[in-house]
């Protein structure tokens, strides 16, 4: 009985360890977090608002719960009503150094008034991104 449970537990742990796909956060569906970043990111909340009258503004409050400094690679993706991704500087990959337990807020204003939804991708610097869309670099 114990043996079976131990084997099952080992299998589950192995599968978790081998997980390479980024996962959508259950509490915050706008977040797409990479496998390595999931190990040290603690999400405190996602904010949404409006800037300059009609531009969607989104943000995420987080901190690094590990004991070492981490480098986060993140990107805000913006979508219009038809689901097409909008390009712009607000959709570029950026980096953020996360010191242990230091709260950080990342927020961006949408590139245009036609943005109605967004997604925030949070990856560790060393993790490859799952999405093939890379936006533009400026």
Told to check if 135 binds another protein by CB under 8 A, we report: yes
Can you tell me which of 33, 64, 73, 98 binds another protein, judged by CB under 8 A? 73
> Restricting to residues 75-134, which ones interact with another protein according to CB under 8 A?
75, 86-90, 92-95, 108-109, 111-113, 125-126, 134
Output 60 or 109, the one with its CB closest to another protein.
109
What gap in Å lies between CA 117 and CA 68, rounded to an integer? Answer: 33
**Nearest distance from C-beta of residue 136 to another protein, angstroms:** 7
Question: Using CB under 8 A as the criterion, what x/- string covers residues 32-71 for binding another protein?
Answer: -------------------xxxxx-x--------------
Closest C-alpha to 60, from 12, 120, 16, 137: 120
Residue 119 CA to residue 7 CA, distance in Å, equals 38
CA distances from 19 to 94, 128, 134 (A): 24, 13, 22
By beta-carbon proximity to another protein, the closer residue of 61 and 87 is 87
Label each residue of 11-45 as H, E or C.
Answer: HHHHHHHHCCCCEECCCCCCEEECHHHHCCEEEEE
Binding residues for another protein, rule: CB under 8 A, are 51-55, 57, 73, 75, 86-90, 92-95, 108-109, 111-113, 125-126, 134-138
């Amino acid at each position: 009985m114990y043996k079976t449970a131990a084997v099952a537990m080992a299998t589950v742990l192995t599968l978790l360890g081998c997980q390479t796909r980024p996962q959508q956060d259950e509490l915050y569906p706008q977040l797409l977090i990479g496998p390595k970043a999931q190990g040290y990111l603690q999400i405190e909340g996602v904010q949404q608002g409006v800037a300059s009258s009609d531009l969607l503004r989104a943000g995420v409050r987080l901190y690094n719960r590990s004991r070492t400094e981490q480098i986060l690679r993140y990107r805000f993706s913006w979508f219009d009503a038809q689901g097409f991704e909008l390009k712009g500087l607000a959709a570029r990959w950026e980096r953020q150094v996360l010191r242990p337990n230091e709260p950080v807020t990342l927020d961006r204003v949408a590139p245009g008034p036609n943005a109605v939804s967004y997604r925030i991708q949070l990856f560790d610097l060393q993790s490859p991104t799952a999405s093939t869309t890379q936006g533009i670099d400026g």
